[in-house]
Amino acid sequence: MTEEAIFQGCLKNDAAAQRELYNRYSPKMLAVCYRFGHNREDAEDMLQEGFIKVFSQLHTFQNKGAFEGWIRKIIVHTCINNLKKNKRFNESVDIIYASTIQTREESVPGIVQAKQIVECIRILPIGYRTVLNLYAIEGYSHKEISEMLDIEESTSRSQYTRAKQMLEDILLRKKIIQKPKEKIPWLAAVK
């Protein structure tokens, strides 16, 4: 089925077209929800809510931009609304929580798996994680993030900086990534 046929079928509330659309985009969208949610069950709940919104608002899609991007936007907003219902983003709480996180040093295979990165992102405190997801992965600006989360733009920036630093530490401790070796000028001269 072409995307256009799926789209038209979904507009007519055709169950087969809806199922096809869901099958195509649900794996990626569930991964998005998983990065925002506490656990897999939460992620599936957000996915379900998001897709219901997708199908009911399908007639508002105006063919501007990619269809996947439009779906992703709805899913992200659904995740944010869900988090806002359950948790207020509190910088001080995140800082306290961040200081208590402990990670083990693990030896990992040479190739970095996507799953490892995502699992490390999920270790972060919820505020850090959300801002990191929105800025680094979903591509929102700090201004947009501050409006979505009802926080100050400066808070968004500071949360992102801390989140990035913490993620880097985690990835280093787990040996998922390595810091680049520092170049020593006098050694280069000897060589």
Binding site for other proteins (CB under 8 A): 8, 11-13, 15, 18-19, 22, 26-28, 30-31, 34-35, 40, 43-44, 47-48, 51-52, 55-56, 59, 110-118, 121, 132-133, 136-137, 164, 167-168, 177-178, 180
Q: How far is the CB of 92 from other proteins (least distance, A)?
A: 25
Rg (CA), the chain: 20
CB 36 → other proteins: shortest distance, Å? Answer: 11
CB closer to other proteins, 1 vs 112: 112
* Cα distances (angstroms) measured from residue 70 to each of 43, 51, 74, 172: 19, 12, 7, 35
Query: Smallest distance, Å, CB 110 to other proteins?
Result: 7
Q: What is the spatial distance between Cα 110 and Cα 82, in angstroms, rounded to a whole number? A: 36
Q: How far apart are the C-alpha atoms of 96 and 9, rounded to whole Å?
A: 50
> In angstroms, rounded to a whole number, what is the distance separating the alpha carbons of residues 128 and 111?
26
Measured from the CB atom, the residue of 67 and 150 that comes closer to other proteins is 67
Note whether 122 and 129 are within 8 A (CB): yes
Torsion of CA 82, 88, 93, 98, to 10 degrees: 20
In whole angstroms, the minimum distance from the beta carbon of 88 to other proteins comes to 25
Nearest approach, Cβ of residue 164 and other proteins (Å)? 7
Three-state helix/strand/coil letters over 127-171: HHHHHHHHHHHCCCCHHHHHHHHCCCHHHHHHHHHHHHHHHHHHH
Shortest spacing between CB 17 and other proteins, in angstroms = 11
Residue 157 or 164: the one with the smaller Cβ distance to other proteins is 164
Based on CB atoms, which residue is closest to other proteins, 180 or 185?
180
